[in-house]
Amino acid sequence: MKSFQPFQISNVPVGGPAPFFILGPCALETETFAWEMARSLKEIADRTGIPFVFKASFDKANRTSVGSFRGPGIEEGCRILGEISKELKIPVTTDIHTSEQAEIAAEHIDLLQIPAFLCRQTDLLEAAAKTGRVVNVKKGQFLAPWDCVNIADKMRAFGCERFLITERGTTFGYNNLVVDMRSLHILRKEGIPVIFDATHSVQRPGGLGGATGGDGELAPVLARAAVATGVDGLFMEVHSDPENALSDGPNQIPLEFIEDLLIKLLAIHHASH
């Protein structure tokens, strides 16, 4: 089994004795909302003792409908995230969609995320790698786990050793995803640090016709299974009012439930490792 050299995302360790957590709402709905969520999650992280990265997207560029909410855009979104990071002393992450966005985002963002549909876009991977930031590549729903070795090879060829791959389900028929927990083990055997995305894995892409549906109540179930299997990080979208979220509401975990879930996940990790 191959291994990787542990590294840091700002003050958050990757490859340490316990997984780290990427938590936050799907989208940057408003600046006030982003601060409220970041402060609430920081307090929960401090109480539970988890390493924590705050996430929110400045642009939901692949929404199902042309009329769907997208976000404040890169300049405003990265400004907000950068200020949250400085004041709360937590690393932040967001998606980038073009090579040009990589350099802009890298001025404020600690962990650059590559969306699943763009995970094989060589120019985008190269641009992200060359910023010097840590890069999280979301595994496409159309890829087998062993196909991610090619993504890892690209990142290393571009001089980036601090990268992760996120498992977020595989397309299974129409409007449905399934998670093969074996993929977590397969990726880690290749010396690739692995994150499990519990909330996007329960999506039903386009399942509501003009919007994406999902089975949010299953996200904690899959998260527990992933921790028991073994991962380096957990990604979970969290919202204070999922029913009225402007993006991906059906998949997000209510803020009121996340602390109890984190405590359970930590207990499972300690019991199984």
- Write out the H or E segment, with its range, that includes residue 13: strand 12-14
Phi, psi of 17 (to 5 degrees): -70, -15
Neighbours of 259 (CB within 10 A): 17
Q: Residue 66: which residues within 8 A CB-CB, separation 6 or more?
A: none
Could you give the domains of the chain? 18-272 (3.20.20.70)
Q: What pLDDT, on a 0 to 100 scale, did the predictor assign at position 213?
A: 63
Q: What pLDDT, on a 0 to 100 scale, did the predictor assign at position 33?
A: 97
Tokens 């200020």 sit on residue: 83
Q: For residue 111, which of 233, 211, 2 has the smallest C-alpha distance?
A: 233
Kindly compute the dihedral angle of the four CA atoms of residues 108, 112, 113, 117, in this order, to the nearest 10 degrees: 100
> What does the block give as tokens for 60?
């939901």
CA angle 201–223–23, rounded 5-degree value: 80
Q: Residue 202's Cα: distance from chain center in Å?
A: 14
Q: What pLDDT, on a 0 to 100 scale, did the predictor assign at position 248?
A: 79
The pLDDT tens digits of the residues spanning 238-261 come to 999 999 999 878 889 999 999 999
Q: What pLDDT, on a 0 to 100 scale, did the predictor assign at position 203?
A: 86
* Cα gap 214→210, rounded to integer Å: 13
Q: What pLDDT, on a 0 to 100 scale, did the predictor assign at position 115?
A: 97
Which residue numbers in the chain have pLDDT < 50? none
